[in-house]
């Protein structure tokens, strides 16, 4: 029988056998972020298109080429979010969070949508972990944010990531830099791609981010932004580096980093892996001091980063990092007959309420098929219930590892099983941490 359809190109399914990997990294990121004072925010998957046009920037590839935009039944232009910052800032403004204690620190796990050519580490539906720190002008906030990302990678055991930082200045000092870029690229205009020829007039910094090999070669000798920083921006960037040095976080200054979105000011940074091909940027972010104001709010200096979950998983797999396995089935109850099925349902419900993973037959299988299934799912204990066991009031619990069978009175089964399960878990923990008795 032919399938009616398959997953849309550029999307992927996360199957149950692998979903624990996503859960592990997501839970770790939220937990680490909470230590830094960041707490979760959830925003809609779609927003009014003008939010991204104003916030992300209409000269970016994201807005010009990659957004999923459609007209809804009310004639409004709607866009699936291509990134998380604009929606978080919109929520910050709409709910008046700028009137509360600043900085407001938020984190999120979100799906994003961009129409790009799918490849390893780049999907049309992808997932990000992001943080936004709204209302923090000091350079120490930049370093703290970078420290948060660094701690996430350390906690997950991810190594071989290079931290690259840069400053792209404020609107004032960037005017001089834009003028220098225009003069430089104007001399090479005929060599640029059509998109970059348009960028030359609107936003020449975007040319530095072009993926065309020809444009990249031209941009290699372009003026460097660090040479045009005003005194305030230079002082800010020096202080960011001093804080990173104090935190013993290694980094390199890469004056070619500009990031792909227009809202960035001053500090920008990327964590880059050399082990997953061309899409090596795993985490990127920086400061966006003018974005809140651009979206209709007061002047609120802010910063944030986004971390690509699919790319992070690629890096972790390439480095052979092991993931904690999901809790296995602690007890499988095989049944014969309706009385046994009812008794099994009662036992299973009580144990599940006590946080033990328990399964019972829900397919009407034969006893042999049930025991085969218990083996396939790796059940640690099995219990076979039939009329005889119920009439005698004695249950036979089998340890599937040792083969040991323990006879337990029915009215004592829950208490006895919980005690045995806890002892088994304590033994596993001691073995895991090398604490077993000598």
Whichever domain contains 382, its CATH number is: 3.40.50.800
pLDDT at 438: 44
Helix (H, G, I), strand (E, B) or coil at 358: strand
What value, to the nearest 5°, has the Cα angle with vertex 339 and ends 335 and 340? 20
Which of 290, 318, 346 is the last residue in one of the domains?
318
Per the CB < 8 A criterion, the answer to whether 343 and 374 are in contact is no
Residues 136 and 240 in one domain: yes
Q: Is the pLDDT of residue 59 over 80?
A: no
Residues 284 and 259 in one domain: yes
Q: What confidence tier does 428 reach under pLDDT thresholds 50, 70, 90?
A: low
Residues 103 and 242 in one domain: yes
Q: Is residue 107 part of a domain?
A: yes
Q: Is residue 40 part of a domain?
A: yes
Which of 262, 295, 318 is the last residue in one of the domains?
318
For 168-220, write each residue's pLDDT tens digit.
999 899 889 989 989 999 998 888 898 888 888 888 888 887 878 889 899 88
Q: Is the pLDDT of residue 437 over 60?
A: no
Q: Is residue 214 part of a domain?
A: no
Lowest average pLDDT, out of 196-200, 263-267, 366-370, goes to: 196-200
Lowest average pLDDT, out of 63-77, 250-264, 358-372, 416-430, goes to: 416-430
Q: Is residue 210 part of a domain?
A: no
Q: What is the residue-averaged pLDDT of the chain?
A: 91
Residues 33 and 61 in one domain: yes
39: number of Cβ within 10 Å: 13
Lowest average pLDDT, out of 167-176, 184-193, 280-289, 428-437, goes to: 428-437
Q: Is residue 128 part of a domain?
A: yes
Q: Is the pLDDT of residue 431 over 70?
A: no
Q: What confidence tier does 312 reach under pLDDT thresholds 50, 70, 90?
A: very high
For the domain that residue 293 is a member of, what is the CATH number? 3.30.930.10
Give the structural domain span for 62. Answer: 16-170+230-318
Residues 303 and 247 in one domain: yes
Residues 398 and 259 in one domain: no
Residue 36 sits at φ, ψ, to 5 deg, of: -90, 5
> Alpha-carbon Rg of the chain, whole angstroms?
28
Q: Is the pLDDT of residue 57 over 90?
A: no
Q: What confidence tier does 121 reach under pLDDT thresholds 50, 70, 90?
A: confident
Q: Is the pLDDT of residue 432 over 60?
A: no
Pairing verdict, β 331-335 and 381-385: parallel
Residues 345 and 287 in one domain: no
Q: Per-residue pLDDT averaged across 11-34, rounded?
A: 95
Q: What is the pTM of this model?
A: 0.89
Q: Is residue 180 part of a domain?
A: no
Domains: count for the chain? 2
pLDDT at 99: 95
Q: Is residue 373 part of a domain?
A: yes
Which of 318, 341, 359 is the last residue in one of the domains?
318
Residues 39 and 108 in one domain: yes
């Amino acid at each position: 029988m032919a399938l009616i359809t398959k997953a849309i190109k550029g999307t992927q399914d996360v199957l149950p056998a692998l979903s624990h990997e996503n859960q592990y990294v997501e839970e770790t990121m939220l937990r680490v972020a909470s230590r830094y004072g960041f707490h979760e925010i959830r925003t809609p998957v779609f927003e009014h298109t003008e939010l991204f046009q104003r916030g992300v920037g209409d000269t970016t590839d994201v807005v010009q080429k990659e957004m999923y935009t459609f007209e809804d039944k009310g004639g409004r232009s709607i866009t699936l979010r291509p990134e998380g910052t604009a929606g978080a800032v919109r929520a910050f403004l709409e709910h008046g969070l700028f009137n509360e204690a600043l900085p407001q620190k938020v984190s999120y796990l979100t799906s994003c949508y961009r129409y790009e050519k799918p490849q390893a580490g780049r999907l049309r539906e992808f997932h990000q972990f992001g943080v936004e720190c709204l209302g923090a002008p000091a350079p120490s906030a930049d370093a703290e944010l970078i420290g948060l990302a660094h701690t996430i990678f350390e906690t997950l055991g991810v190594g071989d990531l290079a931290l690259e930082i840069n400053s792209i200045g404020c609107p004032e000092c960037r005017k001089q830099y834009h003028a220098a870029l225009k003069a430089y690229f104007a001399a090479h205009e005929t060599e640029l791609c059509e998109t970059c020829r348009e960028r030359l007039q609107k936003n020449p910094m975007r040319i530095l981010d072009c993926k065309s090999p020809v444009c990249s070669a031209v941009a290699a000798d372009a003026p460097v932004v660090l040479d045009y920083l005003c005194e305030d921006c230079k002082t800010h960037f020096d202080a960011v580096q001093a804080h990173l040095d104090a935190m013993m976080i290694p980094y390199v200054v890469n004056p070619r980093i500009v990031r792909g979105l227009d809202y960035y000011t001053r500090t920008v940074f990327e964590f880059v892996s050399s082990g997953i091909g061309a899409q090596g940027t795993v985490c990127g972010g920086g400061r966006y001091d003018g974005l809140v104001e651009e979206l209709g709010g007061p002047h609120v200096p802010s910063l944030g980063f986004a971390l690509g979950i699919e790319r992070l998983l690629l890096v972790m797999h390439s480095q052979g990092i092991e993931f904690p396995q999901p809790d296995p089935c602690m007890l499988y109850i095989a049944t014969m007959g309706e009385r046994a099925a009812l008794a099994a349902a009662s036992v299973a419900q009580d144990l599940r309420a006590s946080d033990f993973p328990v399964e019972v037959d829900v397919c009407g299988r034969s006893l042999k098929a049930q025991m085969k299934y218990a083996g396939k799912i790796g059940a640690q204990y099995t219990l076979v219930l039939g009329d005889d066991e119920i009439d005698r009031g004695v249950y036979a619990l089998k340890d599937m590892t040792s083969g040991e069978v323990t006879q337990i009175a029915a009215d004592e089964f829950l208490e006895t099983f919980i005690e045995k399960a806890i002892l088994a878990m304590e033994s596993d923990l001691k073995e895991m941490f090398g604490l077993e008795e000598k």
